[in-house]
A = this chain, B = another copy of it.
Amino acid sequence: MTQNMTAPDSQLKISIRILCGDEVAMGPGKADLLDAIARNGSISGAGRAMGMSYRRAWLLVDAMNRCWAQPLVETMAGGAARSGAQLSNTGHAVLAQYRALQAGAGAIDQGPDWRALQSVLRPAPHNRQHEQE
């Protein structure tokens, strides 16, 4: 579960969000939730794995499902509300294409601009100079 495709300890952070009206149709957290649903086979299990409530996970899934031509997550028909869920074909495709977008944008960490910035970026902030000193 990575927030972006640059290394976790990198000083370069890239966030990609896809909007649908005022709603975030896909972003780092929603993509991680889709991965967790695929691994866990249910919305409740995915929510637990990510430390969020079932209600929060369900609302994120519902928002995603309303933003795309087809729902990204399918819940099992005829069962209890929490009985199981899986990614639809559209869900698998959207997730893979979003991860590809992240990888494409993350490639800027290999370019000359980022190397130039790194050469003058401190590892930690310099102490504040008080104005009266």
Contacts and interface: CB of A to CB of B under 8 A. Distances in A.
Given A104-B108, A113-B104, A117-B98, A122 B69 contact: yes
Chain A interface, DSSP helix/strand/loop, else mixed: mixed
Number of copies: 2
B14 A121 contact: no
Contacts of A100: 113
B14 A14 contact: yes
Interface residues of A, number: 49
A13 B23 contact: no
A68 B117 CA distance: 9
Interface of A: 11-21, 23, 25-26, 62-63, 65-70, 81, 90, 93-94, 97-98, 100-101, 104-105, 107-108, 111, 113-114, 116-117, 120-128, 131
